[in-house]
């Protein structure tokens, strides 16, 4: 089973990298770009086929290591 975890900053947490990316895009002439927030994507391969169990495990992984829940939120996507 494959999983993808998206980790992004919580709303209200300052994202200077996102801001710099936005400025750079504006500088390239993409005037339509407003606020930009960046984050990371982690792809994982998991053994087993129980989706509910995998989701629980991934949640625990996010809480323990993959995300710093003081400033980050996460979304889990499971792929068959």
Residue 64 is encoded by which pair of tokens? 């323990």
Contact 73, 37 (CB under 8 A): no
Smallest gap, in angstroms, from Cβ of residue 80 to other proteins? 27
Does residue 28 touch other proteins according to CB under 8 A? Answer: no
Contact track, other proteins, 55-74, x by CB under 8 A:
----------xx-x-xx---
Q: Tell me the site size for other proteins, rule CB under 8 A.
A: 10
Binding part of the chain for other proteins, among 13-21, 26-34, 48-56 by CB under 8 A, reads 13-21
Q: Does position 16 bind other proteins by CB under 8 A? A: yes
Distance in angstroms (rounded) separating the CA atoms of residues 4 and 19:
25
Shortest distance in whole angstroms from residue 50 CB to other proteins: 26
């Amino acid at each position: 089973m494959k999983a993808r975890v998206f980790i992004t900053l919580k709303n209200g947490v300052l994202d200077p990298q996102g801001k710099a990316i936005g400025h750079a895009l504006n500088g390239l002439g993409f005037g339509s770009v407003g606020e930009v927030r960046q984050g990371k994507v982690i792809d994982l391969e998991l053994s087993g086929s129980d989706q509910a169990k995998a989701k629980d495990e991934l949640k625990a992984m996010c809480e323990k290591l993959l995300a710093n829940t003081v400033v980050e939120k996460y979304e889990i996507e499971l792929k068959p």
